[in-house]
Structure 1
Amino acid sequence: MLAYTVYSEAGGVGKTTLAANLAKAEERAGRDVLVVDLDTQEASLSYLLDVADDRDDDQADSLLRHMIDRPRGDFDDLIKSSEGIDIVPSHNILEYASKHLRRREEEAADFGESWNPNKQLLRVLREAGVHEQYDTLIVDPPATADIKLHNAIHATRHLVIPFEPSGKGYESVQGLDQLVGGLEDQLGIEVGVLAVVPNRYKGMNDQDRFLEEIEADGWEIPIRLRERSSLLEGCWAEQCTAFRYIDEHRERERDHELDTVEKIERLAERIRETQAVEA
């Protein structure tokens, strides 16, 4: 199964829209796709794909309940669908994931049991047979490097990292070695970077220089996504991927928008190829 986490330390770089559109590209390639939304922001992937109805329902079952062994139903009942993609939506209780997971760890220790709070998403997915049911798993965590990110990485072992090709964005990518190395040391696993994805690329000389330096450092940059404010704002307004937005909400096709979704499909294909080579 192809599995990766879409993550960036910097906010506002299109992490969630990239995750949603990569999921749609995978679905269009004929693959069964599950997306796990671990981001508690209101403007989350669950909102973008219009499956966030239960996020503030205290009585609803949630992924965190399954992670701390207090489910209110089957895992399959958590799953919602949108545009042919299966999604485990975010829930507001995830804001307290660290507290509840650490408490569960302490309870286990009191009884002489080993219980790793960073491996609970992996456990839940394995017990649900996700690796047998799906071809692709994509996890969208928050931008903060907290216990939700650690669970995402334990479950996927791979990262796709969007960034803005600017001085600040370049610094964030330059810190990738430190970020990945720190996660590997902290979690005791190997973490692969399948691609870094420049977003809001404008073809400026400074941006090209940044990207050339990043590639010289050995990072894979399969595509460059140009700034498409109108398209992405439309996606959030209509709560859909760029693919559906172009099909259903544009009166006429726009070449630059078609180019964007074609690049996302090429990126999805490249990620599949890269992980296949690693495997």
Structure 2
Amino acid sequence: MRALRRPGAGQLLLLLLLVFNLLPIYFIVENSVKTPLEFASSTLNFPQTLQWSNYGVAWEKIGGSLYHTSVIIAASIVAIVAFSAMSAYAFSKLRFPLQNALFLLVFGLLLIPGFLTLIPLYLQIKKLGISDSYLALILPYIAGGQAFSIFVLKTFFEQLPDEIFEAARIDGAGNIRIFSTIVLPLSVPICTTVAIINITSLWNDYLLPSLLLNRAHQTVTMALVSFEAAAGNYGLSDYGGMMAAYLIAAVPLLLLFSLLMRNFVEGISSGSIKM
């Protein structure tokens, strides 16, 4: 039998970093089942009695917003991945006039800070008359996610052997068939990576939804901010309910990462994204 190796300095350092990363999760979990009095007495000690009613209060505050956010994010991500994949395929495997110039324009969009386009975007959404609806966020999210996604997917598609596409064209396959039967199946990991990165940024977005949506269609970030403001009024802070709401809002992302982690790691290790 092999002798058990003692953990090295690098492993101990990673273990220490893991503990520090888990501390915020422990803080949220144990404070989500506390009464206001227990929270005021100590924020680190685990409560003697578990206040599960905090989760009921939290769900009443953010349950509907989770549905709105899920609809907006799902529609946006499907469109972002689909459109960016088609554009990346065209930039990487097809030849057309002004190809390099157009790609430089797309890449240049990554250099423009988002807040510079905030006021024109707000005015355009109001002019179109789609504010206070899902489209008010879905359309900007689709447009805003294209530049980064096209850049990443183009880098990956360029690594695919040209011989595969030449053989498909010899057999009579067109670009649509090549894209649907060859490119997409080979790019599932990198498309998953692009989707997860976009989901993370869109799920946590607060500024744009707060400008374009009303309370009837509010996202989870808007609901959390409203809950936090209401819970702190008149010194009656419901920190237990707030922590429960934060935990509930994080569960969809945690489940997503746990289900798609393998594809995410494969997409990262494919060489298309340099972390």
Higher helix share: 2
Larger % of strand: which?
Answer: 1
Structure number with higher relative contact order (C-alpha < 8 Å, ≥ 6 residues apart): 2
TM value normalised by structure 1: 0.23
Quick check: which has more Rg, 1 or 2? 2
